[in-house]
Amino acid sequence: MISNHLHNGMESAKLMWSRLPNSEDADFEGLSPSESSGAGGGGSVESLDYEVIENYAYREEQAQRGKLYVGFYVGVKWFFALLIGVGTGLAAVFINISVENFAGWKYSLTFSIIQKSYIAGFIVFVLINLALVYSSVYIITQFAPAAAGSGIPELKGYLNGIDTHGILLFRTLIGKIFGSIGSVGGGLALGKEGPLVHTGACIASLLGQGGSTKYHLSSRWLQVFKSDRDRRDLVTCGCAAGVAAAFRAPVGGVLFALEEVTSWWRSQLMWRVFFTSAIVAVVVRTAMGWCKSGKCGHFGSGGFIIWDVSDGQEDYSFVELLPMAVIGVIGGLLGALFNQLTLYLTHWRRNYLHKRGSRVKMIEVCLISVITSAISFGLPLFRKCTPCPEVDVNSGIECPRPPGMYGNYVNFYCSNDKEYNDLATIFFNTQDDAIRNLFSAKTIHEFSAQSLLTFLVMFYSLAVVTFGTAVPAGQFVPGIMIGSTYGRLVGKFVVSFYKKLNIEEGTYALLGAASFLGGSMRMTVSLCVIMVEITNNLKLLPLIMLVLLISKAVGDAFNEGLYEEQARLRGIPLLESRPKYQMRQMTAKEACGNQKVVYFPRVAKVADVVSILMSNSHNGFPVIDHTRSGETLVIGLVLRSHLLVLLQSKADFQHSPLPSALRGRSLPIRHRISEFVKPASSKGLSIHDIHLSHDDLEMYIDLAPFVNPSPYIVPDDMSLTKVYNLFRQLGLRHIFVVPRASRVLGVITRKDLLIEGDEDSSAVELQSASVRSQRDKRLSKRNADVEPPLLDGLLG
Amino acid sequence: MISNHLHNGMESAKLMWSRLPNSEDADFEGLSPSESSGAGGGGSVESLDYEVIENYAYREEQAQRGKLYVGFYVGVKWFFALLIGVGTGLAAVFINISVENFAGWKYSLTFSIIQKSYIAGFIVFVLINLALVYSSVYIITQFAPAAAGSGIPELKGYLNGIDTHGILLFRTLIGKIFGSIGSVGGGLALGKEGPLVHTGACIASLLGQGGSTKYHLSSRWLQVFKSDRDRRDLVTCGCAAGVAAAFRAPVGGVLFALEEVTSWWRSQLMWRVFFTSAIVAVVVRTAMGWCKSGKCGHFGSGGFIIWDVSDGQEDYSFVELLPMAVIGVIGGLLGALFNQLTLYLTHWRRNYLHKRGSRVKMIEVCLISVITSAISFGLPLFRKCTPCPEVDVNSGIECPRPPGMYGNYVNFYCSNDKEYNDLATIFFNTQDDAIRNLFSAKTIHEFSAQSLLTFLVMFYSLAVVTFGTAVPAGQFVPGIMIGSTYGRLVGKFVVSFYKKLNIEEGTYALLGAASFLGGSMRMTVSLCVIMVEITNNLKLLPLIMLVLLISKAVGDAFNEGLYEEQARLRGIPLLESRPKYQMRQMTAKEACGNQKVVYFPRVAKVADVVSILMSNSHNGFPVIDHTRSGETLVIGLVLRSHLLVLLQSKADFQHSPLPSALRGRSLPIRHRISEFVKPASSKGLSIHDIHLSHDDLEMYIDLAPFVNPSPYIVPDDMSLTKVYNLFRQLGLRHIFVVPRASRVLGVITRKDLLIEGDEDSSAVELQSASVRSQRDKRLSKRNADVEPPLLDGLLG
């Protein structure tokens, strides 16, 4: 009878566990790290406790509610994917229209002033930039510190199970949108693409938690997704939507999300991510079509980055492969150097500069803005203008370009009307237009080698210095700028060396851009697809692939990719795709080191729980119980966050040190499941927040209903390489290392998993019921005869 | 002392195991299934024993040989990727040139004859087709039965760990290449793309095993890759190369390999697959450039499928989304119907028709060839010719097309020279050209609705009937044909309904093609990229995405994808990406059912081994040993195939029933590692092949050196969903279900896996040496104090 009670207790434990909010497959959760120190790009992860992901069983709750609920649930998922697509698309359109209008207005004002005075023009130009940049840095430092930087390393961390505080808040979203309008509009050497990815992720996360609670924007019926797995899926959709919106590259967005951001791969998720990207593409296209009629001010010919090179080089000869390989090598070297320099600089900034508070951050950014403005206005002044070449009237290229319009051949500080300033064409221009000019075909010899080299050196330095300041900053567009400059430089030599007619410098510029991004970010397939999608030229695909291969290989010889380096600097413990070489020699036991395992007994004294939680910073604890014969038995894993909720609510405290199941058949579920939901937008509970009276400390708590009864286990002498793969492939947080088993109850092979599914829902219900009854039968049978009763001796 | 001996024995066990050929991470292996019954598409898997994949530790061998060996090994991998790319590219060029020349010669001959007599032309046409098809079916039935069909379901199976006999042989490669030339050149309703994927995989596999042993084409120095993991990686590269070559779609190839074929995702592999695809693209492009100068006969304007629609519809209005959605729905319905019909037909064929031997198969194919020829020649005769429209001279389209050339507006059985036969334009043509005509822009009203409908019905029926015959057959091109036909039909209505100028029927045909493939094959991202790459038009990408989403969703409502259905029919147990609903209710123990676990003791009597292997068909067995106190201890997993090698060689037989380690310190490795390599091209050993004398049967064998000492384990009450994910994500073959652990030796979290790797190779060597010594220390410490000595009581 008693053992029966116990059995019920354990069954109820499973039930309760499976009802807990993060009992979905592969959720992750844990306390958010300590106070954000405010250093660097905000949202720093200093004493991070290595939150990791764990797989749990699917909710039985769903099964109880039946197929209807599942259908509703799936429908909501797709509806959310739609909303994310629409939201991210609209955000992207808003950012782009704003940036283009600010920048366009700035340049046209400056151009109109410099007709009279270059000094006045310079002052106006500097001041407008400063105002825009100041607004950006003000928003970031005062309102949304987590919105600084590109956000991609933090997102990678989040999707790998490491929760950086504040990256998905509503204020971060606002800060990201308006901050990047300021910083990009203000002409700094940074892009708006990384921030757009972050924006998409924020939108997705806020939708998933039903709006922002803090700003009373939450809606109850949206709060369908309580599990972290669902939230993470939404954020993955958001990342893809961000890329799709930033580059108008829907397939590139899907691949980016799956290659770069997540560490796993599920075809259902891919399918939904794909849908989100398609929605983004439609939304963006619709908005662009609406803007074509001139309703969006300066936005129009510029705007979303599409650098159409479809009229570029049609063909290439074998001899061109050599200079292309050279571009790949340069890209690898410069990219690796960029990563290394930014790493040092960010390190220095975090440790010395940004510790001094937000005023230093603001001064720093303003200083960089003034320097950037001075260089981009001043340097072209020293450049002698070039006479306009004879251009084909049909090509649509004018020299010099008409005032106030976009295009090549900028007339700036030239004595003659029929001249243009090649340095101003790339420097004194928005980045989008500069790249368009660098990519442009049919404009051979537009840029002198001297101008390109000057620009390369200056812009590279500016990009390095700007990286890591307290403004939203992407590295895609600066990377493309740098790459296309040296690419065009190489193209110039190729054109003059091979003297063939069909070689276009613009094609080399494109390859240069791909090579620098490959050398810095080390992406492969997704980058390749993005490059093809933004340039709208499939013919160059094999060339882009080869250049990427070379530049990534060269870069890998020196250091890690930009995002990995930055993540490591911020203390985000990303697991690399490849286990370390020396892991082959190690066993699972060795990885645990000499750490003492901190157990909880099944029924723990509250005072003990508190002191254990105080004494260490682990996030998961094994729970053990004693069999009648005095042997111990591991009954599961309990999470720190769940313990804290239990301690705070006190509802499950009991006076007796006996398991609660022994004191009546009723299940001891006094908690609402939503209490266990990890708050996405606050820092979560800490043990120091919990105040317990002396009486409380003397009480007991039965942990059995709150444990995860089957965490993943590995034998102690398993190779660490295998453990690593298990961790990474399944996205785990904790693995129990256990002694070698004494016997095998069964061997599961592939055929055991090939259960024929019934499409009919009633059949499923029936079957699951029969399975359950069968299982009960088996369990009782097990208890009765062959095997030693699993939980028979829990009385201890 | 004795325990020390034992300890050494177990260490040597690990060593030996790790030296075994399939001790790489995630290898798979096992006996090949029983005799191929020769039914159906050859290579049938009837009494398949559910071979599955398993992860083992990396070889220590590599560590011993040091970094130099690893460098060599990685270099060889990349060199092989290069070879696969070049080989597959050349094979694709060869197949395409041959097919185009046969087909071109056939049509030009027929056209020249029908100037005089239509009856003579018909007879010649039928006979040429028959001869080509007969050559194909003869090769397949007499020489390479495994080369029938597309091969993609079998490849999916192989890469999921299920080895279908004969799919990667040299003779299969030859059969596939020449068979598909015959069947495609002979005008059957099938394509050459699936076979090309299989060709790429065969090339990769043959390279991996260093050539074909049977035909004395093997080379010893190529035999670097002994592990199945490496071979599988090569085959993945080969699949990608096949797609890249078939469609000239390198990115599509990468995505196809990773989305459709494999069930896991590793970024290192992706990187190499990407390289292979790039190489293919370069090889194919070079060959095409060489052919442009007219050196390849009829190959030229036709050839590789590139249906350039870049001059198609630029823009689309919102109202067009409705007919596009209709296309998606039609695609889903027709695709699901296609899958269902082919499933029934294949089932019937396998069970009734193909059991009667290869003569029946040959007659069947020849009959289908005659019917196909008769329909494609005969039906257009009943069609009244249409007067040529006034076409723009600049568009390059002529009406009627010049004789012997490719193009629209075929003059066939027309009374007037200025007329064309619209049914002949699509029916009496190679499939590539027909698709090009269906996709073509600026040819509104070229096809009448009646012709399109006739063609749709006839071709659909032919494609269904042809599927599953004993010739190499892809479903991509037929799918595109069917889809583009109804797409164009819908486009016709849209054009006449909306009466806008910029709507192109060709664009709708393209969407139709995407929808049918989506509805039948249920691919998403890879199909989308392939469609974009073959049509060279990125602007239609969002539309293709939406159509694919709809058609896949509609199709999924009815049945599974084509490849999954076919794989299931052939008994290939593919694990779906999503665990079954009812698994949520089940535990690991229940999945094992009532099966009795068949153990091996550590030292087994040979007679017992034989009788156990005889009595069941399992491929993996737990090995247990007894502690001194009489308790059992699971020491690992031994594979049937390894046992068979041991039984055959007899080298490890011993007279004593004591573990061999007790009889001297020397390691009992009397086998060359290569003996354990699974033969890729033969059926492997069977227990019935092994003949043992009476004396042999009385001897003993110590299995400890041959076990995998740490297979993956799960506790018995773990949710089956979790087990399923573990299986699929890691590609396992066997999982041991063990009882709940009594204690936890440690908890591994993410931070434990973040071991800083030293780039310096000497440091690594040092570190791994120090790790090893540390481990030895720890092990001896473990034996000495705190923990119970793990293997102390093995004397039993």
| Phi, psi values for residue B625, rounded to 5° | -135, 165
Contact A744 B622 (CB under 8 A): yes
Q: How far apart are the first and last CA of chain B?
A: 16
Is residue A13 within 8 A of residue A668, CB to CB? The reply is: no
Judged against a pLDDT cut of 90, whether residue A696 lies above it is answered with no
A441 to A313, A314, A505, B607: CA distances (angstroms) = 8, 11, 7, 79
Contact B60 A757 (CB under 8 A): no
Judged against a pLDDT cut of 90, whether residue B203 lies above it is answered with yes
Residue A774 has a pLDDT of: 42
- B21: DSSP letter: T
Give CA–CA dist A376/B577, Å, rounded.
53
Helix (H, G, I), strand (E, B) or coil at B501: coil
Contacts for A335 with CB less than 8 Å, ≥ 6 apart: A479, A515, A516, A517, A518, A519, A520, A521, A551, A555, A562
Residue B178 has a pLDDT of: 95
Helix (H, G, I), strand (E, B) or coil at A679: coil
Contacts for B474 with CB less than 8 Å, ≥ 6 apart: B150, B180, B190, B191, B192, B193, B194, B195, B196, B197, B246
By C-alpha distance, the chain B residue nearest A549 is B275
Q: Which two tokens stand for residue A615?
A: 């004494």
Is residue A57 within 8 A of residue A18, CB to CB? The reply is: yes
B266 to A523, A771, B78, B321, B526: CA distances (angstroms) = 14, 36, 16, 37, 17
By C-alpha distance, the chain B residue nearest A572 is B751
| Closest by Cβ to B748, choosing from A539, A735, A750 | A735
Helix (H, G, I), strand (E, B) or coil at B654: strand
Judged against a pLDDT cut of 50, whether residue B764 lies above it is answered with no
Give CA–CA dist B223/B229, Å, rounded.
14
Residue A443 has a pLDDT of: 74
Q: How far apart are the first and last CA of chain A?
A: 16
Q: Which of B194, B479, B440, B485 is nearest to B327 (CA)?
A: B485
Is residue A505 within 8 A of residue A338, CB to CB? The reply is: no
- A786: DSSP letter: S
By C-alpha distance, the chain B residue nearest A575 is B754
| Phi, psi values for residue A654, rounded to 5° | -140, 160
* Higher-pLDDT residue of B166, A130: A130
Helix (H, G, I), strand (E, B) or coil at B646: helix
Q: CA torsion, points B785, B788, B792, B796, in degrees to nearest 10?
A: 150
- A396: DSSP letter: T
Cβ neighbours of B755 in A, within 8 Å: 580, 582-583
The two counts, helices (H) then strands (E), for chain B are 25, 13
* Higher-pLDDT residue of B712, B215: B712
pLDDT band at B779 (very low <50, low <70, confident <90, very high): very low
Give CA–CA dist B39/B569, Å, rounded.
12
Helix (H, G, I), strand (E, B) or coil at B639: strand
Q: Note if the pTM is more than 0.90.
A: no
Contact B730 A734 (CB under 8 A): no
Task: Count CB atoms within 10 A of the CB of residue B41.
Answer: 30
Name the residue with tokens 């007969």.
B134
Helix (H, G, I), strand (E, B) or coil at A90: helix
Residues 500-539 of A with CB under 8 A from B: 524-525, 528-529, 532-533, 536, 538-539
Residue B51 has a pLDDT of: 27
Q: Which two tokens stand for residue B676?
A: 């354990």
pLDDT band at B776 (very low <50, low <70, confident <90, very high): very low
Beta carbon pairs, A and B, within 8 Å? 425
By C-alpha distance, the chain A residue nearest B26 is A722
Q: What is the pLDDT of residues A713-737, one digit of tens each?
A: 888 888 888 888 788 777 777 888 8
Q: Which two tokens stand for residue A122?
A: 């310079």
Residue B710 has a pLDDT of: 78
Q: What is the pLDDT of residues B2-29, one digit of tens each?
A: 344 444 444 444 444 444 443 333 333 3
Residues 426-445 of B with CB under 8 A from A: none
Q: What is the pLDDT of residues B674-709, one digit of tens each?
A: 556 555 544 567 777 788 888 888 888 888 878 887
User: Average pLDDT, stretch A104-112?
Assistant: 88
Q: What is the pLDDT of residues B455-484, one digit of tens each?
A: 999 999 999 999 989 999 999 999 999 999
pLDDT band at A198 (very low <50, low <70, confident <90, very high): very high
User: Average pLDDT, stretch A320-349?
Assistant: 94
Residue B789 has a pLDDT of: 29
Q: What is the pLDDT of residues B566-603, one digit of tens each?
A: 888 888 877 776 777 777 778 888 877 777 788 888 88
pLDDT band at A430 (very low <50, low <70, confident <90, very high): confident
Work out the minimum CA distance from B401 to partner chain A, whole angstroms.
27
Contact A573 B722 (CB under 8 A): no
* Higher-pLDDT residue of B577, B352: B352
Average pLDDT along chain A: 76
pLDDT band at B215 (very low <50, low <70, confident <90, very high): low
Is residue B7 within 8 A of residue B791, CB to CB? The reply is: yes
- B215: DSSP letter: T
Peptide bond into A715 cis (omega under 30): no
Task: Count CB atoms within 10 A of the CB of residue A583.
Answer: 25
Work out the minimum CA distance from A674 to partner chain B, whole angstroms.
22
Residue B305 has a pLDDT of: 57
**Residue A579, amino acid:** P
By C-alpha distance, the chain B residue nearest A529 is B251
Helix (H) or strand (E) holding B495: helix B476-498
Determine contact: A779 vs chain B, CB below 8 A: no
Q: Which range has the top average pLDDT, A219-223, A315-319, A514-518, B60-64?
A: A514-518
Contact B722 A55 (CB under 8 A): yes
DSSP sequence for B423-472: HHHHHSS-HHHHHHHHH-SS-TT-S-HHHHHHHHHHHHHHHHHHTTSSSB
- Axis crossing angle, helix A228-247 with helix A193-208, rounded to the nearest 10: 150
Cβ neighbours of A531 in B, within 8 Å: none
Give CA–CA dist A238/A256, Å, rounded.
11
Is residue B144 within 8 A of residue B358, CB to CB? The reply is: no
Residue A90 has a pLDDT of: 94
B267 to A240, A260, B107: CA distances (angstroms) = 18, 9, 47
Work out the minimum CA distance from B278 to partner chain A, whole angstroms.
5
Give CA–CA dist A177/A172, Å, rounded.
9
Cβ neighbours of A584 in B, within 8 Å: 57-60, 62-63
Instruction: Give the angle subtended at the CA of A534 by the CAs of A444 and A390, to the nearest 5°.
Output: 20
User: Average pLDDT, stretch A464-476?
Assistant: 91
Contacts for A724 with CB less than 8 Å, ≥ 6 apart: A575, A579, A583, B753
Q: What is the pLDDT of residues B541-563, one digit of tens each?
A: 888 988 998 999 999 999 989 99
By C-alpha distance, the chain A residue nearest B532 is A538
Bridge partners (DSSP) of residue A271 are none
Q: What is the pLDDT of residues A392-413, one digit of tens each?
A: 666 667 777 776 566 677 888 8
Determine contact: A584 vs chain B, CB below 8 A: yes
| Closest by Cβ to B744, choosing from A538, A737, A746 | A737
